[in-house]
Amino acid sequence: MNKINRIVFLGFCFFSIQVSGQSKIAIYLNDKKPVKERIEDALSRMTLEEKVAMCHAQSKFSSAGVPRLGIPEVWMSDGPHGIRAEVFWDEWNNAGWTNDSCIAYPALTCLAATWNTDMAALYGKSIGEEARYRNKNVLLGPGVNIYRTPLNGRNFEYMGEDPFLSSTMVVPYIQEVQKNGVAACVKHFALNNQEVDRDHINVNVSDRALYEIYLPAFKAAVQKGGAWAIMGSYNQYKGEHCCHNQYLLNDILKRDWKFDGVVISDWGGVHDTRQAITNGLDMEFGSWTNGLSWGRSNAYDNYYLAAPFLKLLKSGDVSEELLNDKVRRILLLIFRTTMNKERPFGSFGTEEHALAGRKIAQEGIVLLQNKGNLLPLNTSTIKKIAVIGENATKMMTIGGGSSSLKVKYEVSPLDGIKKRFGSSAEIIYAPGYTSEKNNKENLLQKAVETAKKADVVLVFGGLNKKENQDSEGADRKGLSLSYGQDELINAISKVNKNVAVIILSGNAVAMPWVNKVSSIVEGWYCGTEAGNAIASVLAGDVNPSGKLPFTFPVRLEDSAAHALGDYPGNGKDETYNEGIFVGYRWVDKQNIKPLFSFGHGLSYTTFKYGKVSADKKQLAADEDITFTLSIKNTGSRAGEETVQLYISDKKSSLPRPVKELKGFKKIQLNANEEKNVSFTISKEALSFYDDIKHSWIAEPGAFEALIGASSTDIRSKLSFELR
């Protein structure tokens, strides 16, 4: 018999396959054959043990391949803001590599605040290239869970309170990541809206709220973004953990949405072998913290989808077809990533990526308030700038849980300000407060003395990545700023009238001092180039154009999850009593005045909105309608404005929000330039989910199109009808 020794290059690994006879070379290695045929061929050659091994972890972030068949391992990395440092095989500790320092991108709240799909594409392209260079098959991100409460510790990883905004922004992120031959793993599916009791809390939510609020971004990720992977969430729904949930994974995701990718458990999110087998899970990770614990030589063999799964298969207690469906999906993932010969090589830690992150940050930073036009800072008259606050120097790329990064570098706000303003003004710094130790009075007094000496004061406050601030595993304790920041800002405002407060956070915060300071900026967590991005906006080198992706309430009780009293549940169950009335939908319903509205963001220029018109007054169910208006830059400098379209149903058989976001466009205008903006919608934008009929309904009747600069700043309205 003729022996053929085939060497296949897959990423960074070589696999040797010996096949007897030219005619028996594996079909799955022949890239001229259809992928489905190649998958079935590979499946037919695998043993039961090899198939099962592919369904569970073999290390912290990898699952087994089949070396004898040239089927590679699957390697994953935490995201969604950068590629996590390498860890030891069985431990969370960094492995000590010297070449795994990444570029940190802005938090996804900042990306959402750009309201710009081009920025989402740039983000996905850049982080996808970094993941590919590090030879990762799967990037564990992006996250699209809805901002239900400002106390959720992981809100900074998500894209805000509105399902339409999240749905629109997530699609180009996914598409561009996957062009690099890296799967985007969209998380956390579903209803993972708090960290308190996250491992077991059972969420009770109406079908209507589920379909209208909490599922749309995931659906868009699958059907429009073409996501190759989905991560289940820790919590329960309908009494089943979401990592093996019949209704979410089998009925909705795989049956209704036709998802052909892999469902990956969150690390430690699996709790039952039979449910993991039957209820839609494909790959199990992290079921024990340490893969060598519990006195076993290899605890991964004891995972729910490992030896217990194999035992049930061999006894005939479960069908091998259940296993084969999982392995088919995993093999398809491998063909899409490692075994894709067109897969590019990627790049890592480059200046191009850093500048991409800076551009995203610049577009996402939100100017919330600017009384007296303190900003942009006038470098011709300002000779001394006081920078106050621990957040001016604190690293924000580390901490926060799974999104913590080992970065190539991070520019602090203080360093960015020194670089931008240091040649024209003296920069003086005082911490003002600290999250590490308690010498509050001394720090406050020194900060006040520093502020007295300055022409302008920049206070950098907000949250950080410590527990109970913005961090995985723990929610915030309240809406207020910690570490005595409110007292600090009040004291500074008494000695200097030119105060700008820059909030670094992924969440809304209370601002009892809002009327005592001139300017307020939401500066987010902006990654590697944070300081340079913030400084460029403060200086006016970049005109701020970010808009809030969630509502800033005046007080916690103005948030529906708290007003209706069930957050964070009773330790076992939590009911979303507010239903569909999340964020601005609740604000509108209750006629509450927010601190800062959803969609709000100021500019250093001004824009005049024209009157909206439509191409028809009535539309049939199979027609579209187009709304058009003019926008003019009436200021003296170029700027960008995000025009927002909301739709109001004037009469409905079920309660509906006062209005809902159904379109947005970000346009750039030079001084005195005018452009037309158009939005085209269909009956889909007019529909609601009827949880009695279990279908989407667009009822004939009167509607209203509202054009706004925010959810509470409506500039033009137009009535129309659905026939």
pLDDT, tens only, 357-404: 999 999 999 999 999 999 999 999 999 999 999 999 999 999 999 999
- Give the residue-averaged pLDDT of 329-355: 97
Per-residue pLDDT band at 17 (split at 50, 70, 90) = very low
**What is the pairing mode between strands 183-189 and 138-140?**
parallel
Six-digit token pair at 102? Answer: 């990444």
Tell me which of 2 and 629 has the higher pLDDT: 629
Q: Are 472 and 154 in contact (CB under 8 A)?
A: yes
Q: Is the peptide bond before 544 cis (omega within 30 degrees of 0)?
A: no
**What is the pairing mode between strands 625-633 and 607-609?**
antiparallel
pLDDT at residue 22, as a whole number:
39
From the number of C-beta atoms within 10 Å of its C-beta (0-12, 13-18, 19+), residue 12 rates as exposed
DSSP symbols for 305-342: TSHHHHHHHHTTSS-HHHHHHHHHHHHHHHHHTTT-TT
Q: Are 370 and 158 in contact (CB under 8 A)?
A: no
Contacts of 579 (CB under 8 A, 6+ apart): 205, 206, 208, 209
Residue (of 608, 589, 717, 722) closest to 656 by Cα position: 589
Per-residue pLDDT band at 25 (split at 50, 70, 90) = low
- Give the residue-averaged pLDDT of 511-517: 98
**What is the pairing mode between strands 618-619 and 713-722?**
parallel
- Give the residue-averaged pLDDT of 304-308: 96
pLDDT at residue 290, as a whole number:
60
Residue 227: pLDDT over 80: yes
Residue (of 512, 495, 496) closest to 461 by Cα position: 512
Contacts of 651 (CB under 8 A, 6+ apart): 701, 702
Domain 607-722 listed as CATH 2.60.40.10: yes
Q: Decide: helix, strand or coil at residue 416.
A: helix
Task: Report the percentage of the chain scoring pLDDT > 90.
Answer: 92
Q: Are 631 and 665 in contact (CB under 8 A)?
A: no
Residue 136: pLDDT over 60: yes
How many Cα atoms occupy the beta-carbon half-sphere of 418 within 13 Å? Answer: 10
pLDDT at residue 292, as a whole number:
54
Q: Are 131 and 180 in contact (CB under 8 A)?
A: yes
Per-residue pLDDT band at 1 (split at 50, 70, 90) = very low
Just list the catalytic residues: 266
- Report H helices in 422-483: 440-452
Six-digit token pair at 483? Answer: 């570490």
How many Cα atoms occupy the beta-carbon half-sphere of 29 within 13 Å? Answer: 20
Per-residue pLDDT band at 16 (split at 50, 70, 90) = very low
**What is the pairing mode between strands 229-232 and 262-264?**
parallel
Q: Decide: helix, strand or coil at residue 588.
A: helix
Contacts of 174 (CB under 8 A, 6+ apart): 124, 142, 184, 186, 221, 225, 226, 227
pLDDT at residue 26, as a whole number:
81
- Give the residue-averaged pLDDT of 557-565: 95
Residue 297: pLDDT over 60: no
- What span, in angstroms and rounded, lies between the C-alpha atoms of 437 and 209? 44
Q: Decide: helix, strand or coil at residue 518.
A: coil
CATH number attached to the domain at 33-336: 3.20.20.300
Helix (H) / strand (E) containing 628: strand 625-633
| pLDDT, mean over the chain | 94
- Give the residue-averaged pLDDT of 588-595: 98
Encode pLDDT of 89-115 as tens digits: 988 889 999 999 999 999 999 999 999
- What span, in angstroms and rounded, lies between the C-alpha atoms of 401 and 266? 13
Query: Sign of torsion, CA 193 199 204 210?
Result: positive
Per-residue pLDDT band at 438 (split at 50, 70, 90) = confident
Q: Are 171 and 128 in contact (CB under 8 A)?
A: no
Strands ordered across the beta sheet of 202-204: 240-241, 236-237, 202-204, 573-575
Encode pLDDT of 538-556 as tens digits: 999 999 999 999 999 999 9
The fold of the 351-545 domain, in CATH, is Rossmann fold (3.40.50)
pLDDT at residue 714, as a whole number:
98
**What are the sequence ranges of the domains in the chain?**
33-336, 351-545, 607-722
- Give the residue-averaged pLDDT of 613-632: 97
Encode pLDDT of 154-213 as tens digits: 999 999 999 999 999 999 999 999 999 999 999 999 999 999 999 999 999 999 999 999
Q: Are 626 and 615 in contact (CB under 8 A)?
A: yes
Per-residue pLDDT band at 23 (split at 50, 70, 90) = very low
List 105's β-bridge partners, or say none: none
Helix (H) / strand (E) containing 645: strand 639-649
pLDDT at residue 29, as a whole number:
82
Encode pLDDT of 236-286 as tens digits: 999 999 999 999 999 999 999 999 999 999 999 999 999 999 999 999 999
Per-residue pLDDT band at 21 (split at 50, 70, 90) = very low
pLDDT at residue 31, as a whole number:
84
Residue (of 391, 461, 526) closest to 81 by Cα position: 526
Tell me which of 26 and 204 has the higher pLDDT: 204
